[in-house]
Amino acid sequence: MTTTTMTTRNYFSSYNFEQMLNIKFDPTFLPVVATSFTLFIFLYKFINPILSNLLIKDYKMFTLAQKIDWSTRINSSINSLTVGIICIYMMIADHGLEANPLLYKSYLLKTNLSIVIGYLLSDTAISMIHYKKIGDPFSMAHHLVSVYAFSYVLTLNVMPYFANFRLLAELSTPLVNIRWFLDTLKFSKTSKAFVFNGILMTLVFFFVRILAMPIYWWKVYTVAITPLWIHMGHFRFVLIFVCTILDIINLYWFSKMVLGCLRIMRAVYGKKHG
């Protein structure tokens, strides 16, 4: 037996296994979730419409469905930028997170998860209320599955590395929203702003959601061969089941992006050589 194997086994059999035995429900950050939920509802209902009315001259001409969607996408962008930046910081600065991927308590991660869970619940509530206008079953499924998984990490401190890794995906969301904003403001699909954002959106989505998949699943494999994995019980299946669903949804969205990007590039090419 190598020194590395002995060290790993001793580490998992003492510190981590003791933590595993002491896992218990921790409701400490649930008020932060409630605060995040309330804040995003307040932004959606009051702040976003007021600022949009002042800053966007075409806002008054939007349909009710467009105004609802516009406001929810502002919320989406705020959430994505906030949690995405914190996620990157943790990947760089919090070395304990990678060293303890299965069991680890980080107050910054729990704060970040509280923000995103509050946002996801608020957006799901808005989508349900206005389902006929802006309802999207794929987005709602994505939200609910994410809340289910993140709640385990928030309240039980299990699988922290994987939760933080999945939050990287949020970095592509603002560009997706910008595309919708440009389309709603009637920018030409062959305009420089639309084309540049479309290409950048597809590239960023690919790097943080598609290319990240094999890296993520390799990390899952590396912990699945450790002694602690067998003691993680049903948390193992939550991790695999939830992330498989999210990856399928992301592949579906990416396929639509690529097709859209190709259509626009063909239109631009045709316009230049027509």
Query: Structural domain tally of the chain?
Result: 1
Q: Is 14 among the domain residues?
A: no
Amino acid 17: pLDDT: 54
Q: Does residue 201 sit within a domain?
A: yes
pTM: 0.89
Whether residue 10 lies inside any domain: the answer is no
Write out pLDDT tens, residues 244-264: 998 998 999 999 999 988 888
With respect to residue 268, please indicate whether it lies within any of the assigned structural domains: yes
Which pLDDT band, with edges at 50, 70 and 90, does 22 fall under? low
Tell me, yes or no, whether 21 lies in a domain. no
Domain containing 266 equals 27-272
Separation of alpha carbons 16 and 71, rounded Å: 44
Report percent pLDDT > 90 for the chain.
76
- Note whether residue 7 is domain-resident: no
Residue 261 in any domain: the answer is yes
Q: Is residue 203 part of a domain?
A: yes
Mean pLDDT, to the nearest integer, of 73-94?
Answer: 97
